[in-house]
Structure 1
């Protein structure tokens, strides 16, 4: 991959993060992909691997470790973009859309998970746009204040090279998690929402 596997270093400062919209989540300053290009980041991705410090999330994911198809769309006049996630759950094809608000920092977004009343700060730590992207998600639930760190690996295809996976595991370790605990999603094929079962794969 011609030297593309250098991970962007993490710079830890005693500062508060500053969001253009949404709440301010206290914590370290994370460096995003250098010269991040939102337009190149849009389009179709597949979530191939994930790990989180949230035990409930990990338990749910282990029970349904399927590849998630993600379609990202952004209108130039809007201050957010929409991600539509499609995957099989209990044999049924489900689809869910989430709005990501842009911030003053390219490659950094904010969104809200209503089900868990959680604010999420999302960072594109590293991507080459055409093959892979590594995402860092820092969330805080209300009113408990519980904080969670999640790291995800996206790919433009259903597969990823060993070099990319090794870099992803290095990023996981940098955030204090064991790469042995990484969940590799299984390719169950793509599906058509509302079709009802696995027989409706594309």
Structure 2
């Protein structure tokens, strides 16, 4: 029994250490980060996501900073049923650039870290949570739907360093008319 407890403690320690090496953007500025962002890259290796990889399109999000330091993120995604929007509510933590949110899909709180951004062009964002297994997703956001090759390469290198296989690192094509021209 003691060996099992030690093994579980070691696994938990190793997994938490793996995430602690990720730090948020130095001197993160929420006001500069707010605004329109396109998700132009995604690294995600969930087996349930594999059938959807070829159908993924770049999506549009609008980050709205709240007076209390929290964030509302409204995302529009092109789906087979049409353009759908969803709003996420991110709560600030005591570390600027790190947030938590409640995932209704997984019924748990997840961590969001803005790892790197220059505010005017791109942002690398890590979503992380440990449950049945370590759940990690890396997203590349751009102020436009097309980013420079060196930024795309930076995203791919970061995702590879996080352990994502090449086929799980995606840069989907732009969505057409999502959101519709009168929205967002």
- TM-score category, normalised to shorter length: 0.7 to 0.9
Q: How does 1:1-202 map to 2 (within 5 A)?
A: 26-27=16-17, 28-29=19-20, 30-60=22-52, 62-76=53-67, 78-141=68-131, 145-192=132-179, 200-201=180-181
Would the alpha carbon gap of residues 176 and 191 (structure 1) be closer, same or farther in structure 2, given more than 3 Å must change? closer
The alignment partner of 1:116 has SS state of coil
TM-superposed deviation, 1:188: 2.1
Distance 1:79 1:40 in 2: 13
Structure 1: 5+ residue stretches without partners = 1-14, 17-24, 193-199
TM-superposed deviation, 1:149: 1.0
Distance 1:90 1:36 in 2: 36
Distance 1:118 1:53 in 2: 19
Distance 2:161 2:83 in 1: 34
Distance 1:163 1:124 in 2: 19
Would the alpha carbon gap of residues 129 and 79 (structure 1) be closer, same or farther in structure 2, given more than 3 Å must change? closer
Query: Number of matched residues?
Result: 169
TM-superposed deviation, 1:80: 1.4
TM-superposed deviation, 1:36: 0.8
Pick the structure with more helix per residue.
2
Indicate if the aligned counterparts of 1:51 and 1:58 stay in contact, CA closer than 8 A: no
Structure 1 segments (4+ residues) deviating >4 Å: none
Indicate if the aligned counterparts of 1:33 and 1:127 stay in contact, CA closer than 8 A: yes
TM-superposed deviation, 1:66: 1.0
TM-superposed deviation, 1:89: 0.9
Structure 2: 5+ residue stretches without partners = 1-11
TM-score, structure 1 length as denominator? 0.75
Distance 2:133 2:108 in 1: 9
Distance 2:166 2:98 in 1: 24
Indicate if the aligned counterparts of 1:42 and 1:73 stay in contact, CA closer than 8 A: yes
TM-score, structure 2 length as denominator? 0.82
